[in-house]
A and B are shown apart, each in its own frame.
Chain A
Amino acid sequence: MNDSSPVGTPMDETVPAPASGDQPLLRAERLRVVFRVGQRGLPAVNDVDLTVSPGETVGLVGESGSGKSTLARTLIRAYEPTSGRIVYDGQDITHASEGALKPVRRSMQMVFQDPYASLDARMSVRRIIAEPLLAHRVGSRREIRERVAQLLEDVGLPPDSGDRLPAQFSGGQRQRISIARALALETKLLIADEPVSALDVSIQAQIVNLLQDIQRDRGLAYLVIAHDLALIHEMCDRVAVLYLGEVVEEGPADHVVTNPQHPYTAALLAATPVPNPDHGRERIVLHGEPPSALDPPSGCNFHPRCPIARPHCAEESPPLAELPDGRRAACFYPGELTAVGRVDGRSQEHC
């Protein structure tokens, strides 16, 4: 990205504060994560700015390999960023040691995609949920027991679940166990990495409702990672769309999902199934595979697959520029390609 762009304003260093005016709970600035692949560097996350305010739900969307999981895992410091800054609750945790992170780990939690792999099959549910309490030496044995019982109730599991093993539960119930574990301490921010995509469709809505109920009761901030725009629309206040490790569009979820300005977001939306195929959206078929981050295309990352690419797009990379409605999009021709213009009346009233 560079500053000499024909359209829009250059990207601000700081991200605009959310409507509430609160200090953001989590702020990432120009975050870069580069993995070493042999002699070369693979930039999985590239110059990403992101904020999550207290009580807010932010979504990260993108296809596989877009860097959304890497970004989330870097924010919770499973990985160390190559450059940039992560500030959580006023504390710079960019390069904090595991020891310095310990207090952070009390209030920033994660729920994983796979409810099978993320729970130790040998441990009883009680021990799984008590694990964070024991690790942080919170409460006596009896208090921990009572806390676990309360958490089981909070996530809607039967009271006798504590003595059983994860193998005795369904995927949805295991995700409830995982959520209970993430709520055991004084959680402020919950990062949910594809929390429902491994579950049966009939169970997905229950888990989404549970997450929403918990957020309402406890005022948590969520960072939800998904590839499903409908889920993002349902859950999130704001959304950031990632493509090849870069944010290509970012703004209020309602605006981005119903009226995408970036052609990649439009293509994602066009790929989302609609209840009535007769009143479907226009099809936007992207050609080819996403390019490799090891060997990114010239200019705009998206131009080789973009239906509206011009010669200019191959030469210069568009900045993430603010549009009149407050959202930001990294495209020289925002709004030109839209997936909803034709028939979907409900979406149009939002624009």
Chain B
Amino acid sequence: MSVLERRRIRLVPQGSMLLWLGFAGALVMVIVVVLGPLLQTHDPYEQLLTNRLLAPGEEGHLLGTDQLGRDLYSRTIEGFRWSLGIGFVATMIAAVLGTLVGIAAAMREGVLRTVLTRLVDMTIAFPYLVIAVAIIAVIGRGFFALSLTLGLVSWPIFARVVYAEALGLMEREYILAAQLLGVGAWRTLFTHLLPGLRPSLMVMWAFMFADLLIAESALSFLGLGAPLAAPSWGNMLSDSREYLATAWWMLLAPAIAIVVAVVTANLIGDGVAAESRRRAAQART
């Protein structure tokens, strides 16, 4: 059997393998989020100062305890709900807002386009920490405050990409053909424009989700994130900072969770990008 023939035996191409790995990771994460409390061995919020800073395995604490005696394993599991939830809602806000603005700017020439593109430029130029402080000052720390903050600082990236891509699609002859057939703007939006944008939206969604997971940690680390007691991964990392020398395990669980989630999102993003490139190449022949 020659080398060439052996290559053909692979069931799925390399690119899709990584994509499937990403989907598998995402599935596991969704299961952890849904089953959450069933997987926990302790109450993630319960403090027991006599049990503080236990090493992994001691007293039935799988991953040890933190400075207040809370079970790190249960907190990390609960952290899936906080961190992935915030990441999901924030990415959704950014995607919906950005897509609306991007498409509106691309489809309507004139004043609206100028206003919207300037708005996007302004938002990108605005320091996101200032927006974060402002929102938290108004509605306080919490799940939705943090989601809203992250969504409001990241939608312009969606808007820019969607605008550029939609502008390109609007130049396509099939869009002109649709207009000349009497297809209205809304129908064109739903039958031609959005399906054309879908691959880019999916890829951007995955990468944005990964970025916002890290941003959530950063904001929590700065004390602008989730409420202090909440077991978000960013909060847990922030807590671990002072005990790094004595209780290294406090850092480990949230750090690994963040890395796994970010890598999973990136695998999906890369995989979808490769898949849509492959399909585009196929459609051209």
Residues on A facing B (Cβ under 8 Å): 76, 78, 98, 101-102, 105-106, 109-110, 112, 114, 116-123, 127, 131-132, 134-136, 165-167, 178, 181, 185
Which of A112, A121, A135 interacts with B283 by CB under 8 Å? Answer: A121
Q: Closest residue to A132 on the B side, CB-wise?
A: B181
| Residues A110 and B182 in contact in the complex (CB < 8 Å), given A121-B283, A131-B191 | no
> For residue B196, which residue of chain A has the nearest CB?
A122
- B179 CB contacts on chain A under 8 angstroms: 78, 98
Cβ contacts under 8 Å, B182 to chain A: 101-102, 105-106, 132, 135-136
- Whether B177 lies near A167 (C-beta < 8 A) is no
Give Cα A101–Cα B181 distance, bound, in whole angstroms.
Answer: 10
A98 CB, min distance to chain B CBs, angstroms: 8
Assembled-state Cα–Cα distance A110/B285 (Å) = 25
Contact in complex: A135, B187 (CB < 8 Å): yes
- Name A112's contact: one of B177, B282, B284, B285 (CB within 8 Å): B177
With both beta carbons as reference points, the residue of chain A lying nearest to B188 in the complex is identified as A135
- B contact residues around A135 at 8 Å (CB): 178, 181-184, 187
Q: Which segment of B28-36, B65-73, B168-176 sits at the interface? A: B168-176
Asked if B177 and A118 make an inter-chain contact with CB atoms under 8 angstroms apart, the answer reads yes
12 contacts between A and B (CB under 8 A): A76-B180, A78-B176, A78-B179, A109-B181, A112-B173, A120-B174, A120-B196, A131-B181, A135-B178, A135-B182, A166-B283, A167-B284
Which among B172, B174, B284 has the greatest number of chain A C-beta atoms within 10 A? B174
Question: What is the CA–CA distance of A81 and B233 in the complex, to the nearest angstrom?
Answer: 61
Report B107 CB to chain A, min CB distance, Å: 12
Q: Which residue of B lies closest to A166 (CB)?
A: B283
CA distance A98 to B177 in the complex (A): 14
CA distance in complex: A123, B181 (Å): 16
In the complex the two chains form, what is the Cα distance from A337 to B221 in whole Å?
85
Q: Does B113 contact A (CB under 8 A)?
A: no
Contacts between chains A and B (CB distance < 8 A), count: 66
Residue in B closest to A113 when the chains form the complex, CB atoms? B173
Closest B residue, CB atoms, query A120: B174
Residues of B within 8 A of A134 (CB): 187
Interchain CA distance A76-B192 in the complex, whole Å: 21
CB closest residue in chain B, given A108? B180
Rounded to whole angstroms, the CA-CA distance of A181 and B177 in the bound complex is 10
B residues near A131, Cβ cutoff 8 Å = 178, 181, 183, 191
CA distance A145 to B176 in the complex (A): 24
List of A residues within 8 angstroms of B187 by Cβ: 134-135
B195, CB-defined interface residue at 8 Å = yes
A18 to B237, CA, bound (A): 85
Residue of A nearest to B182 (CB): A105
The answer to whether residues A114 and B191 also contact, given A105-B180, A135-B184 and a CB cut-off of 8 A, is no
Query: Is the CB–CB distance between B174 and A118 below 8 Å?
Result: yes
> Which 4 pairs of residues, A with B, have the shortest CB-CB distance?
A105-B182, A117-B173, A135-B183, A132-B181
Interface positions of B from 32 to 86, Cβ below 8 Å from A: none
CB–CB A110/B173 < 8 A: no
Residues of A within 8 A of B174 (CB): 117-120
Within the complex, the shortest CB–CB distance from A93 to chain B, in Å, comes to 13
Question: Do the beta carbons of B285 and A105 come within 8 Å of each other?
Answer: no
B254-284 interface (Cβ within 8 A of A): 282-284
User: Considering the chains assembled together, what is the distance between the CA atoms of A153 and B178 in angstroms?
Assistant: 22
**Cβ distance A128 to chain B, nearest Cβ, rounded Å:** 9
Contact B191 A123, beta carbon cutoff 8 Å? yes
Chain B residues with Cβ below 8 Å from A123 are 191
A167–B283 CB distance below 8 A? yes
B84 nearest CB across to chain A (Å): 31
